[in-house]
Chains A and B, each alone.
Chain A
């Protein structure tokens, strides 16, 4: 179990590295787009959609990375006074009711969209460049998959704490 959890963590960490690179690449692409338009006077279409692809990836990969780093914060003014075990019980119940239904459902749906984009040759139509939509659609599916994975790992850890009273 311990091993499985650490595998889940390391997948998210690797996804996080991809996301961090996307963020830096996004800065470069936008700046390059501005440079060729205003300085070199030779505008291109691709930076616009490339920005969308990279920026979308940053948002979606960020979901699981934020879950790993405990950055999805809640209002803990009441729960901070409770014992850690009670907090863990509340979190387990809330995860079952509010985390798993939307997250698993979106993951399932996003895989369908990614599949359709691969098979149907869907294209993005923000500009006349018409790049294929599968890279971003796939990114969405992977991002949600990582969020499901990380959410589950977190859930298992908390459940373990509730049952055994010790961290895993």
Chain B
């Protein structure tokens, strides 16, 4: 052992991490570099084996392998053109209501969320398809971008979600049960968004002009046909992915594989398939997985070193010393996650924090499943909270200069939705059954 006390090492590791994150250098390397330097300082060069073993362990964990498959599925669906089809349909059905297009955006986000597990995919699709149409019809930039970002972010909560795929094995909770537990909170958020949009556009009609009736003159038969043809493929995907998991037929990895395969079939059916598209989807999957792998492995090694030097006890003692009993500690955990989420990527947080907070939550008597969903809903807010808000960046990146959307517009539009997420969290605290009811009905 080195001469440094556990307190000093804890401080060095966490302090240097929090400072160096702002260097702008890839966070995976920073985490890994700190872990290696501290590890060598304490145990010598053998600690290098830990890095390899961690990486090998994650990359060969069967459940984690659902991640590439869900990513593949999401990216493939981006190429299917299904988003445009669904948007056109929902637009005809709901465009005549005040605020209807923003409601359509959230609804579409909810449906997409159930098809893709990757946040970038659903935010990208909504920004490409729903946002231009809202702006064209004179919607306020803030409301339009807020609905796009918040609706797209549902993708990381509503199953299948890669955040839950990663959280499950880290905390020793079944991924299938986590998926089931996330359904109701996800739908609550979606309903809160829709309610908010409807009320706000009712009282401030200028924010969301009604679509001229002329644009919506389509026969009911045609509307009905469009509804069926655009939602049927989605239903097939939903059943083939979530159905088999909830019914206990297949584990998430197999369901993800079948979902990915079905997404290829869907692209073929929509006549958008080519080997060029397949190659592009493969390469995008590779890029996302490489990015995830670096953070997972390095954060995993960091946590091992951190636990090894005794950092866990220090953090746990701190959290337990917060006044207010178990709910005081719970609030402290949630606030820490929220603040970390503003700066560090969620994947890093899950790997750094879950090994510490998940045993602590169990020790405090919280249901692991309920706690897991609370953590994930909380972390999903990180995509919407500046300064580092992935979803806002994606949305801004897709906006063309002609749209004239500024970062401030988006941030102004997103804040109300962040408050709605907090409301949803409060509801889940008041009524834990919202999370635990559906998993308890699951078979197996």
Query: Which A residues form the contact surface with B (CB < 8 A)?
Result: 16-17, 19-21, 23-24, 26-31, 33-34, 38, 48, 51-52, 55-56, 58-67, 69, 71-80, 87, 90-91, 94-95, 97-99, 101-103, 105-106, 108-110, 113, 126, 136, 140
A98 & B32 in contact (Cβ 8 Å cutoff) = yes
- Residues of B contacting A73 in the complex (Cβ-Cβ under 8 angstroms): 26-27, 291, 345
A84 to B22, CA, bound (A): 16
Pick from A60, A75, A99 the residue with the most CB of B within 10 Å: A75
A98 & B290 in contact (Cβ 8 Å cutoff) = no
A29 to B253, CA, bound (A): 12
B51 & A63 in contact (Cβ 8 Å cutoff) = no
B69 & A30 in contact (Cβ 8 Å cutoff) = yes
A74 to B72, CA, bound (A): 24
**Segment from B256-264, B372-380, B423-431 that makes contact with A:** B256-264
In the complex with contacts A26-B68, A30-B258, A79-B24, A106-B52 CB distance below 8 A: yes
Question: Which single residue of chain A is at the shortest CB-CB distance from B296?
Answer: A59
Query: CB within 8 Å of A: which of B58-80?
Result: 58-60, 62, 65, 68-69, 72
B23 & A102 in contact (Cβ 8 Å cutoff) = no
B188 within 8 A of A: no
- Residues of B contacting A62 in the complex (Cβ-Cβ under 8 angstroms): 286-293
A34 & B258 in contact (Cβ 8 Å cutoff) = yes
Choice from A23, A48, A51, A56 contacting B285 with Cβ under 8 Å: A23
Shortest Cβ distance from residue B78 to the other chain A in the assembled complex, whole angstroms: 15
Shortest Cβ distance from residue B305 to the other chain A in the assembled complex, whole angstroms: 11
- Residues of B contacting A106 in the complex (Cβ-Cβ under 8 angstroms): 48, 51-52, 55
Q: Mark B23-43, 1 if CB is under 8 A from A, else 0.
A: 111111110111111000000
Pick from B36, B283, B286 the residue with the most CB of A within 10 Å: B286
B24 & A66 in contact (Cβ 8 Å cutoff) = no
Shortest Cβ distance from residue B187 to the other chain A in the assembled complex, whole angstroms: 28
A105 to B68, CA, bound (A): 26
Shortest Cβ distance from residue A55 to the other chain B in the assembled complex, whole angstroms: 4
In the complex with contacts A66-B294, A75-B343, A90-B23, A102-B68 CB distance below 8 A: no
- Residues of A contacting B52 in the complex (Cβ-Cβ under 8 angstroms): 106, 109-110, 113, 140
Shortest Cβ distance from residue A20 to the other chain B in the assembled complex, whole angstroms: 3
- Residues of B contacting A63 in the complex (Cβ-Cβ under 8 angstroms): 290, 293-294
Question: Which single residue of chain B is at the shortest CB-CB distance from A34?
Answer: B254
Question: Which single residue of chain A is at the shortest CB-CB distance from B278?
Answer: A24
- Residues of A contacting B69 in the complex (Cβ-Cβ under 8 angstroms): 26-27, 30, 55
Given A23-B285, A27-B257, A73-B345, 15 further pairs, Cβ under 8 A:
A26-B257, A58-B68, A60-B293, A62-B289, A62-B293, A66-B287, A74-B27, A78-B24, A80-B24, A99-B29, A101-B33, A103-B29, A108-B48, A110-B52, A140-B52
- Residues of A contacting B343 in the complex (Cβ-Cβ under 8 angstroms): 75
B293 & A55 in contact (Cβ 8 Å cutoff) = no
Question: Which single residue of chain A is at the shortest CB-CB distance from B40?
Answer: A101
A103 to B301, CA, bound (A): 13
- Residues of A contacting B12 in the complex (Cβ-Cβ under 8 angstroms): none
A64 & B33 in contact (Cβ 8 Å cutoff) = no
A73 to B51, CA, bound (A): 21
B324 within 8 A of A: no
B51 & A102 in contact (Cβ 8 Å cutoff) = yes
B24 & A87 in contact (Cβ 8 Å cutoff) = yes
A14 to B286, CA, bound (A): 13
Shortest Cβ distance from residue A140 to the other chain B in the assembled complex, whole angstroms: 7
- Residues of B contacting A110 in the complex (Cβ-Cβ under 8 angstroms): 52
Interface size on B, residues (CB 8 A): 62
A52 to B254, CA, bound (A): 12
B294 & A72 in contact (Cβ 8 Å cutoff) = yes
B274 within 8 A of A: no
Choice from B21, B62, B283 contacting A52 with Cβ under 8 Å: B62
Q: Which 10 A-B pairs have the closest CB atoms?
A: A62-B290, A30-B257, A98-B33, A20-B282, A66-B290, A79-B24, A72-B26, A55-B65, A94-B25, A102-B32
B291 & A72 in contact (Cβ 8 Å cutoff) = yes
B291 & A60 in contact (Cβ 8 Å cutoff) = no
A21 & B282 in contact (Cβ 8 Å cutoff) = yes
- Residues of A contacting B65 in the complex (Cβ-Cβ under 8 angstroms): 26, 51-52, 55
A20 to B24, CA, bound (A): 28
Shortest Cβ distance from residue A110 to the other chain B in the assembled complex, whole angstroms: 6
A102 & B283 in contact (Cβ 8 Å cutoff) = no
B257 & A34 in contact (Cβ 8 Å cutoff) = yes
Query: CB within 8 Å of A: which of B332-360?
Result: 343-345
Query: CB within 8 Å of A: which of B276-320?
Result: 278-279, 281-283, 285-294, 298
A23 & B29 in contact (Cβ 8 Å cutoff) = no
Shortest Cβ distance from residue A143 to the other chain B in the assembled complex, whole angstroms: 9
B238 within 8 A of A: no
Shortest Cβ distance from residue A161 to the other chain B in the assembled complex, whole angstroms: 15
Question: Which single residue of chain B is at the shortest CB-CB distance from A136?
Answer: B60
A99 to B37, CA, bound (A): 12
Shortest Cβ distance from residue B303 to the other chain A in the assembled complex, whole angstroms: 15
A144 to B387, CA, bound (A): 32
- Residues of A contacting B27 in the complex (Cβ-Cβ under 8 angstroms): 73-75
Pick from A21, A29, A51, A110 the residue with the most CB of B within 10 Å: A51
A65 & B290 in contact (Cβ 8 Å cutoff) = yes
A28 to B36, CA, bound (A): 38
Pick from B36, B51, B278, B291 the residue with the most CB of A within 10 Å: B291
Pick from A27, A34, A38, A71 the residue with the most CB of B within 10 Å: A27
CB pairs A–B below 8 angstroms (8 shown):
A23-B285, A27-B72, A63-B290, A64-B290, A72-B28, A99-B25, A99-B33, A101-B36
